[in-house]
């Protein structure tokens, strides 16, 4: 009986040293990866790749005829979805890092460490599977899971969680009942509201207003309008946003900040579908669909009697909860590419290369400002960019500054670090440092540059600590 091949597409090892090829092949075979191809002639590498479309390529840098750098550049251009792991001698480690900035997945140093090799190859296979899964999910969404995928185009995602939300949004869009969108600041609540309006097919306009800070009179005038002579200075009739949104959608942003008096007026609009412009003694009929959004917990406001229970229930006939960016980290790389393209076009510049370690670094950040914060970070980086790959320093500074600001207490004083709960007995200084380094490496997915940035030390200092773990 023929053994099942794993992985389904072969792992290709390209190296001019037969001993290295035999060593890598043996290590991978013993680890259960029995679908391995080897190539000792760099001139044949691209032909083999074209024929077999490998799941991952392990590529030596220094080879006669064609260098690993030249092959990698062609690979990145023709098959960007195939992860490339650089095999390099210690003297060429700096060149390997440059290859990573050009899109290589990772690198391993000769003589090859068995554990490091197996772990790196397994991670690259998982990475490729994730890319394929995201591609399939996106294709399925366009083929049948969503009837109107183009309506959600502004919400850049491959996240299954987000695509599931799109499906729900599409299913309730045509009911024209009130809908409440909840989510942290910067998660895309207004974009979602616009998408629902598009799917609804309503012929009227989409009209948005931020109700935070509006007092009762301003709220009533803004939404309902007024007639001539309704108050001092009302020299002519002015229709409200309800009129403007007739047959369409009225989007009320930050509904949790609405005053108690305005809540009563909005409740009547939702219950009776009627409103009264200021200075008019007869009701008018509303044909606008109401979508509201909030970044605060309305249940908490309701329990503290700051938000009306009946209004809350009316608003949440349908409800959508948008996840924060830290719960859809698989979208960060996609969003970075999108915002880099948009920023370059906006600034009339050429889009720079985006190194893979940038995504790894950003995936370890909490993003309190969510997608909007990421967009601002990328735009700032593109605006500062001069040449070569995009600078990671701009992103590191933003993360450092944000972490510093987040570390301030309510009275403005600086917190000394982040509170940590220690077990009994307390660890020694060496043990604490070792645990901190291991935690940073785990959060950074094994990327030393990212882990060093988290720890506030240089990559060289971290590398030294990792090599001398027994001294930690």
Q: Going by DSSP bridges, is the β-strand pair 206-210/238-239 parallel, antiparallel, or unpaired?
A: unpaired
pLDDT band at residue 421 using 50, 70 and 90 as cut-offs = low
**Residue 248: partners with Cβ closer than 8 Å, 6 or more residues away:** 197, 202, 203, 204, 205, 206, 207, 288, 289
Task: In whole angstroms, give the CA distance from residue 428 to residue 435.
Answer: 10
Does the structure show a pLDDT above 80 at 308?
yes
CB 337 within 8 A of CB 373: no
In terms of DSSP H, where are the helices of 307-369?
309-315, 332-346, 356-363
Query: What share of the chain has pLDDT > 90, as a percent?
Result: 44
Does the structure show a pLDDT above 90 at 370?
yes
Give the pLDDT score at 165: 92
3-state helix, strand, coil in the chain (%, to 5): 50, 10, 35
pLDDT digit string, tens, across residues 425-443: 777 888 888 888 888 887 7
Task: In whole angstroms, give the CA distance from residue 409 to residue 403.
Answer: 12
The pTM (predicted TM-score) of the whole model is: 0.61
Structural domains of the chain, ranges and CATH numbers in brackets: 11-133 (3.40.50.2300), 151-323 (3.40.50.300), 328-407+418-471 (1.10.8.60)
CB 121 within 8 A of CB 11: yes
**Residue 429: partners with Cβ closer than 8 Å, 6 or more residues away:** none
pLDDT digit string, tens, across residues 275-303: 888 878 778 899 999 999 999 989 888 88
- Please choose, from the candidates 179, 194, 105, 181, the residue with its C-alpha nearest in 3D space to the C-alpha of residue 148: 194
Does the structure show a pLDDT above 90 at 255?
yes
* Range from 129-138, 184-193, 250-259 carrying the lowest mean pLDDT: 129-138
Task: In whole angstroms, give the CA distance from residue 86 to residue 69.
Answer: 9
Give the pLDDT score at 472: 45
pLDDT digit string, tens, across residues 60-77: 988 998 888 899 988 888
User: For residues 61, 64, 69 and 73, what is the CA-based torsion angle, rounded to 10 degrees?
Assistant: -140
Q: How far is CA 23 from CA 17, 20, 84, 117, 306, in A?
A: 10, 5, 18, 11, 69
pLDDT digit string, tens, across residues 315-354: 988 899 999 999 999 999 999 999 999 999 999 999 999 9
- Please choose, from the candidates 148, 245, 259, the residue with its C-alpha nearest in 3D space to the C-alpha of residue 206: 245
pLDDT digit string, tens, across residues 129-147: 756 654 544 444 444 468 8
Please state the three-class secondary structure of 44-84 as a single string. Answer: HHHHHHHHHCCCEEEEECCCCCCCHHHHHHHHHHHCCCCCE
pLDDT band at residue 465 using 50, 70 and 90 as cut-offs = confident
pLDDT digit string, tens, across residues 76-100: 888 888 989 999 886 666 777 677 7
CB 315 within 8 A of CB 292: yes
- Please choose, from the candidates 372, 330, 322, the residue with its C-alpha nearest in 3D space to the C-alpha of residue 152: 322
């Amino acid at each position: 009986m023929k053994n099942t091949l794993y992985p389904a597409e072969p792992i290709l090892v390209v190296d001019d040293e037969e001993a290295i090829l035999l060593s890598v092949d043996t290590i991978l075979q013993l680890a259960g990866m029995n679908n391995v191809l080897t190539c000792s002639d760099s001139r044949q590498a691209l032909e083999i790749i074209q024929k077999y479309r490998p799941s991952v390529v392990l590529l030596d840098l220094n080879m006669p005829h064609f260098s690993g750098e030249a092959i990698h550049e062609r690979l990145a251009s023709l098959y960007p979805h195939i992860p490339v792991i650089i095999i390099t001698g210690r003297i060429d480690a700096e060149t390997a890092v440059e290859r990573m900035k050009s899109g290589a997945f990772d690198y391993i140093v000769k003589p090859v460490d068995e554990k490091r090799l197996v772990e790196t190859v397994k991670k690259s296979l998982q990475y490729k599977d994730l890319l394929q899964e995201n591609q399939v999910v996106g294709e399925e969404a366009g083929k049948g899971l969503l009837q109107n995928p183009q309506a959600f185009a502004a919400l850049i995602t491959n996240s299954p969680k987000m695509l599931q939300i799109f499906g729900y949004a599409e299913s309730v869009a045509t009911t024209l009942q009130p809908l409440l969108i909840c989510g942290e600041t910067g998660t895309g609540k207004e974009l979602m509201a616009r998408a629902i309006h598009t799917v609804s097919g309503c012929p009227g306009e989409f009209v948005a207003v931020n109700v935070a800070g509006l007092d009762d009179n301003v709220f009533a005038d803004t939404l309902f309008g007024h007639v001539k002579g309704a108050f001092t200075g009302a020299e002519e009739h002015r229709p409200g946003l309800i009129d403007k949104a007739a047959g369409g959608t009225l989007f009320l942003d930050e509904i949790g900040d609405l005053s108690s008096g305005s809540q009563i007026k909005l409740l009547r609009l939702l219950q009776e579908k009627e409103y009264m412009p200021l200075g008019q003694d007869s009701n008018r009929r509303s044909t606008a669909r109401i979508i509201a959004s909030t970044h605060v917990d309305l249940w908490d406001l309701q329990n503290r009697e700051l938000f009306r229970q009946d209004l809350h229930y009316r608003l949440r006939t349908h409800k959508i909860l948008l996840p924060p960016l830290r719960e859809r980290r698989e979208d960060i790389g996609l969003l970075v590419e999108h915002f880099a393209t948009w920023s370059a076009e906006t600034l009339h510049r050429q889009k720079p290369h985006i190194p893979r370690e940038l995504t790894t670094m950003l995936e370890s950040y909490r993003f309190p400002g969510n997608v909007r914060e990421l967009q601002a970070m990328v735009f700032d980086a593109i605006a500062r960019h001069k040449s070569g790959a995009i600078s990671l320093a701009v992103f590191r500074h933003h993360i450092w500054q944000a972490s510093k600001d987040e570390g301030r207490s309510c009275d403005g004083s600086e917190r000394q670090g982040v509170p940590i709960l220690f077990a009994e007995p307390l660890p020694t200084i060496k043990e604490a440092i070792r645990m901190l380094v291991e935690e940073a490496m785990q959060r950074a997915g094994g990327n030393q540059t990212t882990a060093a940035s988290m720890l506030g030390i240089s990559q060289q200092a971290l590398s030294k600590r990792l090599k001398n773990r027994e001294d930690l």
